[in-house]
Chains A and B, each alone.
Chain A
Amino acid sequence: MDKFEIKIGLEIHVQLKTKSKMFCPCKVKVDDEPNKNICPVCTGQPGVLPSPNEKAVFYAVLVSRALNCKIPEILYFSRKNYFYPDLPKGYQITQYGISTGSKGEVPVIMNGKIVKFPVERINLEEETAKSFHIEGKVYLDYNRCGIPLLEIVTPPFLKSSEEALNFLKSLRRILIYLGVSDCNMEKGEFRVDTNVSVNIRGKESHHRTELKNLNSLSALKESISFEIKRQKDLLEKGEKMERETRLWDEHKKETRVMRTKEFVEDYRYFPEPDIPPFKVKREWFEKEIPVLPHVYYQKLIKKGAEPKEAEIIISSPFLSEFTEKVLEKLPFNRVKGWILTEILQHVPDVESLKNLPFTSLEFIDFVEKIIEGKLPRHMGQEIIKRSIENNISLKKLINEKVEIKGGLELERIVEEVIKENPHVVEKIRSGKVSAVSFLVGQVMRKLKGKANPKEVKEKIEECLKT
């Protein structure tokens, strides 16, 4: 048994993609002209009152349902009181004492298996303003202030940076599948704070390091690994550790103590008097939860996909659904190349998978043609490329190709025409090259004009060589 016990807990903040803010009807658009999407409510003017957004509550309930949380019948909000320039009211409206969802679990895909990790609570709250610190001053943009925020907190059950990474990847994927957030970490839509605590097995300890605001999942994994090693080293030396907050230095690849203010807050939580309790609507529970990534994953594995292959496919909910439909008609090994290599190499990003210019049925048809030999492989590759890059449907391109470069169809007609006109062929072979145009005309007549004359000429010449 390992000498050390490792406990990692995560606190994730997710911006919900509602149209309007959590407590006022301002537009949710962070990257806009600064202080454009603001009003008296989200700037905490005297006399204003909060008006909770139904969609945000719906999303919070949806996430809670998807993660198998307990959801109370009645919800209310609380105030968290503290001073900071990005907090206009001097308090944040959040949830305390009651959560939208509690004691749930996240299905995490790890090492080819599905493992469930616990979630402690899911709270609905509001975002703070965006700050830019320049030369001792802070420049505040309240466009972000008041956007609905979902806080997801786990107990310290994770035991390695790998587990933490997989947990977050899976959670992010689930939230994207539910359509509640785009979870773009660079834009700050998905932020993670981590608590790491290592102790010698059998010797309880109360220290804990908080790692704040890591900007990417890879930085997160590295910083957790570093922190675990750092704590292990200190424990080996018998040194005492305190509760502290540390920042990750991306260049030096180490964690550094954040200069802790002497100040310890007391948030003085109390129920928000401006928002009486409200019922969680029963009809929301009747709405079906979208199929979650791990369900698709399991189906793909069953159909013969390798774990790595399945994970690539489930990175997009559109691709998952698409592939599932395709696999209803075709075996995995026949389509995997076309999906994993051909489609994915041509789409600019995962998002554009929702705009594929063909349906799963068209795609099935396409692959079937290739399987049946009606469409050569190399042509198929070109067709997929053109389809995605130029936004043309597969069906259209297939029809064009079959008729023009047609492969087999054109070849057949050309051979027919050659057979039917032996003296013209003789003339061509003895040097009257211009006679090729007569044969081109014959081919065109048989194809009812649906061919490219240049390509027909090339084909004829090709066939005559043999």
Chain B
Amino acid sequence: MSEIRRIIELYKNKEKLPSDIVVEFFERAKKNEFNSFISFNENVLEEAKKLDKKVKEGKIEGRLFGIPVSIKDNILVKGLKCTCASKVLENYIAPYDATVIEKLKEEGALIIGKTNMDEFAMGSSNEYSAFGSASNPFDRERVPGGSSGGSAISVSAGEAPLSLGSDTGGSIRLPASFCGVYGLKPTYGAVSRYGLIAFASSLDQIGPFARCIEDVEILFDIIKGKDERDKTSTNYPEEEIKPSYPLKIGVLKDSFSNKVEEEIKTSLEEFIRLLEKEKIAQFKEFNMETFDYAIAVYYIVACAEASSNLARYDGVLYGFICKDNNLWDMYEKTRTEGFGEEVKRRIILGTFVLKSGYYEEYYVKAQKARTKILKEFLKNFEEFHLLLMPVSPVLPFKKGEKLKDPISMYLSDIFTVSVNLAGLPAITFPFKLSKKGLPIGFQFVSKFFMEKLFFKVLKKIEKTIHG
């Protein structure tokens, strides 16, 4: 059932006021059981009381009227701290609202706090945060996934009905899967990045988390759209989608490789059988030649762009500063002490692939491989309406398990990065719990601007699975 609809009904029937609802969620959030929040909006109750008046007057305007939302701490909310889970911005107060925040506020949403994440969105487990790692609500010894760990947790644990996160290489989809909720990475350009602290400019997208597909759709509908301030954003086409069932869905062959945990494979087969039985879809395996190379391509492109995007954190205009009488020493000490290890690793790698002498061999080559990846996807869409694959090759892993070897952490992303490289939309939907009670989710990928197809199909599937 849509949380948004449920709550707004309560307001319409004057059964509850926004301040009642906010108190409910805010108190749960403030306990911060899973360390999903970095900071809270202490004014939210006051803001809710302003909306109470409107309810009493019968003026319930806005698609998110009085709905609490949590925001990943790399999206600027004016007046609140925006830390990016980094020491470098630990005391930075956002001087403006991100475009998506302006849109949420216009629709009456109430922001309860900023959620935990991997520092500068670089990570897959939320263990690279300067404010402590976060825990998976299904098993506190395990990671919630990253980098939008806090966002996924807050929705999963009922700390907020909705959340906004960001996805550069799987950072919405992976934690959504690990926490058993929906997470959408929109088509690149569908949602404005203005006010999203940049990691990799050509890959980043802001997207919604929710517990049901209808809420994902409502939230996406609000945040999408061209923004004059973001030249990489574009108009969203308004055509209606009328899917004809059974859909043709391609299953990535590598979903069944030995790199994927057994339970995930069997669940995938179960899912396929279910959909075939209900005549929702017909499945066929497809292969991607570029699959094994996607992670390498991703890390070259993402780290290169990140190394440039993070150059502004130098202690001059804002942020952490390690004072020194010599400017160059000040830069060095500030950045060395301010950034976490993983961030520094990526800055170093990214700088290397852009250096003269290596630019053609690494960065340009990776961008060529990226073209090939997109072409492969588009070719498959000539045959299929949707593509299906796991989100993660493993179930939510234990904290600390992948910290010793960063590359093992990178490999968590094998099923997610190629989608960002192509700019295509993809969505995580929760399927079932594993034998040990851990969430198993899967991923649909579609052509550019086909989010409506996700919503229609998943509504159908939601009904089928959950009745």
Q: Which residues of A contact B (CB under 8 A)?
A: 40, 43-52, 79, 81, 83, 85, 88-91, 136, 138, 140, 266, 268-270, 273-276
For the complex, give the distance between the alpha carbons of A267 and B49 in Å.
Answer: 53
Residue in chain B with minimal CB distance to A136: B325
CB <8 Å contact, A47 and B308: no
Residue in chain B with minimal CB distance to A89: B312
Nearest CB in chain A: distance from B385 CB, A: 28
For the complex, give the distance between the alpha carbons of A40 and B307 in Å.
Answer: 20
Residue in chain A with minimal CB distance to B310: A90
CB <8 Å contact, B198 and A47: yes
Stretch from B19-27, B227-235, B431-439 forming part of the interface with A: B227-235
Binary A-proximity of B171-206 (CB < 8 A = 1, otherwise 0): 000000000000000000000011111100110000
CB <8 Å contact, A270 and B229: no
B354 CB within 8 Å of chain A? yes
Question: Which of A46, A48, A91, A274 is within 8 Å of B84, CB to CB?
Answer: A46
| A50 surroundings in chain B (CB, below 8 A) | 231
B331 CB within 8 Å of chain A? yes
**Interface size class for chain B?**
35 or more
| A49 surroundings in chain B (CB, below 8 A) | 193-194, 229-232
Chain B stretch 107-140: residues in CB contact (< 8 A) with chain A: none
B152 CB within 8 Å of chain A? no
Give 9 pairs: A residue, B residue, CB < 8 Å, sorted on A. Answer: A46-B89, A49-B194, A51-B229, A81-B311, A90-B308, A90-B312, A270-B354, A270-B359, A275-B232
CB <8 Å contact, B231 and A274: yes
CB <8 Å contact, A91 and B231: no
Query: Assuming A51-B231, A81-B308, what are 17 further A-B pairs, CB within 8 angstroms?
Result: A44-B312, A46-B197, A47-B195, A48-B195, A49-B194, A81-B307, A83-B314, A88-B312, A89-B311, A90-B311, A90-B314, A136-B325, A269-B354, A270-B304, A270-B308, A275-B232, A276-B231
Residue in chain B with minimal CB distance to A79: B308
Q: Which residues of B contact A (CB under 8 A)?
A: 74-76, 82, 84, 89, 92, 95-96, 98, 193-198, 201-202, 228-232, 304-305, 307-308, 310-314, 316-318, 325, 327, 331, 351, 354-356, 359, 363
Residue in chain B with minimal CB distance to A275: B231
For the complex, give the distance between the alpha carbons of A85 and B321 in Å.
Answer: 13
Residue in chain A with minimal CB distance to B233: A49
For the complex, give the distance between the alpha carbons of A60 and B215 in Å.
Answer: 48
Q: Give the most central of A47, A52, A91, A269: most B CB within 10 Å.
A: A47
Residue in chain A with minimal CB distance to B316: A85
Residue in chain A with minimal CB distance to B356: A266
Residue in chain A with minimal CB distance to B203: A273
Nearest CB in chain A: distance from B456 CB, A: 30
Nearest CB in chain A: distance from B309 CB, A: 9
| B363 surroundings in chain A (CB, below 8 A) | 270
Known: A266-B355, A268-B355. A44 touches B317 (CB 8 A): yes
CB <8 Å contact, B354 and A47: no
For the complex, give the distance between the alpha carbons of A268 and B358 in Å.
Answer: 10
CB <8 Å contact, B311 and A83: yes
CB <8 Å contact, B229 and A91: no
| B231 surroundings in chain A (CB, below 8 A) | 49-52, 274-276
Known: A49-B229, A268-B351, A273-B202. A85 touches B311 (CB 8 A): no
| A40 surroundings in chain B (CB, below 8 A) | 95-96
Nearest CB in chain A: distance from B73 CB, A: 11
| B230 surroundings in chain A (CB, below 8 A) | 49, 274
CB <8 Å contact, B98 and A47: yes
Residue in chain A with minimal CB distance to B352: A268
Nearest CB in chain B: distance from A53 CB, A: 12
Known: A46-B82, A89-B311, A90-B311. A268 touches B359 (CB 8 A): yes
| A90 surroundings in chain B (CB, below 8 A) | 308, 310-314
| B355 surroundings in chain A (CB, below 8 A) | 266, 268
For the complex, give the distance between the alpha carbons of A43 and B98 in Å.
Answer: 16
CB <8 Å contact, B229 and A47: no
CB <8 Å contact, A45 and B198: no
Known: A49-B193, A136-B325. A43 touches B305 (CB 8 A): no
Known: A47-B196, A88-B316. A273 touches B201 (CB 8 A): yes
| B96 surroundings in chain A (CB, below 8 A) | 40, 45
CB <8 Å contact, A51 and B76: no
For the complex, give the distance between the alpha carbons of A63 and B237 in Å.
Answer: 38
Nearest CB in chain B: distance from A125 CB, A: 16
For the complex, give the distance between the alpha carbons of A331 and B336 in Å.
Answer: 75
Residue in chain B with minimal CB distance to A80: B308
Known: A268-B308, A273-B201. A43 touches B317 (CB 8 A): yes
For the complex, give the distance between the alpha carbons of A46 and B314 in Å.
Answer: 12
Give the top 7 A-B pairs by smallest Cβ distance, nearest first.
Answer: A90-B311, A268-B354, A273-B201, A273-B202, A46-B197, A47-B195, A44-B312
| A275 surroundings in chain B (CB, below 8 A) | 231-232
Known: A40-B95, A266-B356. A46 touches B312 (CB 8 A): yes
Nearest CB in chain A: distance from B62 CB, A: 24
For the complex, give the distance between the alpha carbons of A48 and B318 in Å.
Answer: 14
| B84 surroundings in chain A (CB, below 8 A) | 46
For the complex, give the distance between the alpha carbons of A275 and B231 in Å.
Answer: 6
For the complex, give the distance between the alpha carbons of A433 and B86 in Å.
Answer: 102
Nearest CB in chain A: distance from B191 CB, A: 13
Residue in chain B with minimal CB distance to A272: B201
Question: Which of B76, B229, B304, B327 is within 8 Å of A46, CB to CB?
Answer: B76
For the complex, give the distance between the alpha carbons of A83 and B379 in Å.
Answer: 43
Nearest CB in chain B: distance from A461 CB, A: 78
| A270 surroundings in chain B (CB, below 8 A) | 304, 308, 354, 359, 363
Nearest CB in chain B: distance from A96 CB, A: 11
Q: Give the most central of B307, B311, B356, B363: most A CB within 10 Å.
A: B311
| B95 surroundings in chain A (CB, below 8 A) | 40, 45
| B305 surroundings in chain A (CB, below 8 A) | 273
CB <8 Å contact, B356 and A268: yes
| A91 surroundings in chain B (CB, below 8 A) | 308, 311
Residue in chain B with minimal CB distance to A88: B317
| A266 surroundings in chain B (CB, below 8 A) | 355-356
Nearest CB in chain A: distance from B360 CB, A: 11
